[in-house]
Amino acid sequence: MECTVRWQPDAGMAFNAETGSGHLFAMDGAPEGGGRNLAPRPMETVLAGTGGCAAYDVVLILKRGRHDVRGCEVRLSAERAERDPKVFTRIHMQFVVTGRGLSSAVVERAVALSHEKYCSASAMLAKTAEITTAVEIVET
């Protein structure tokens, strides 16, 4: 896996990233750090990537189990250390899974499998952060 991140000097503390798969995204700093608040902070992209990784796992696990999953949303909240390096110290992931006939046991198992076995991002962040999860199921 590869990624190139380029500073945009004319834009304060903005950076453009190009992933190995050819996708682009921007990051920017807070105004108090010289940024212009035009894009997510780098650590916000880490948190979002973790949510994406976990949601991907949950949907894939449910689909492979032939469950009628129709939507998956992960609401993440995180706390960071007060001193540098300001690593994540706590992350809570609230999964809202929609579908037909989904049992809480099946969805909770998918979330647990993601957290305990498959999600590379949460496995890395678990080295510094306490990660908790909750599940809400919405029948459609």
SS (H, E, C) 14-61: EEEEEECCCCEEEECCCHHHCCCCCCCCHHHHHHHHHHHHHHHHHHHH
**Number of folded domains in the chain?**
2
Do 18 and 76 lie in one domain? The reply is no
| Integer Cα distance of 100 and 59 in angstroms | 14
CB 97 within 8 A of CB 72: yes
Give percent of the chain above pLDDT 70: 100
The model's pLDDT over 41-52, given as tens digits with 9 standing for 90+, comes to 999 999 999 999
Do 86 and 114 lie in one domain? The reply is yes
Give the C-alpha distances (Å, rounded to integers) separating 124 from 36, 42, 77.
30, 16, 17
Do 9 and 74 lie in one domain? The reply is no
Instruction: Average the pLDDT over 117-138 and give the result.
Output: 97
Do 46 and 25 lie in one domain? The reply is no
Do 59 and 9 lie in one domain? The reply is no
Do 123 and 61 lie in one domain? The reply is yes
Predicted confidence band at 126 (pLDDT cuts at 50, 70, 90)?
very high
| Integer Cα distance of 72 and 138 in angstroms | 10
The model's pLDDT over 60-117, given as tens digits with 9 standing for 90+, comes to 999 999 999 999 999 999 999 999 999 999 999 999 999 999 999 999 999 999 999 9
pTM of the model: 0.94
Residue of 122, 61, 128 lying closest to 93 (CA atoms) = 122
Do 19 and 52 lie in one domain? The reply is no
Task: Provide the CA 14 distance to its chain's centre, in angstroms.
Answer: 21
Task: Residue count of the chain, please give it.
Answer: 140
| CATH classification of the domain holding 57 | 3.30.300.20
Do 21 and 48 lie in one domain? The reply is no
Do 68 and 23 lie in one domain? The reply is no
| Integer Cα distance of 132 and 90 in angstroms | 8
Domain residue limits at 19: 3-33
Do 86 and 128 lie in one domain? The reply is yes
So what's the pLDDT on residue 58?
Answer: 98
The model's pLDDT over 21-36, given as tens digits with 9 standing for 90+, comes to 999 999 999 999 999 9
Do 29 and 74 lie in one domain? The reply is no
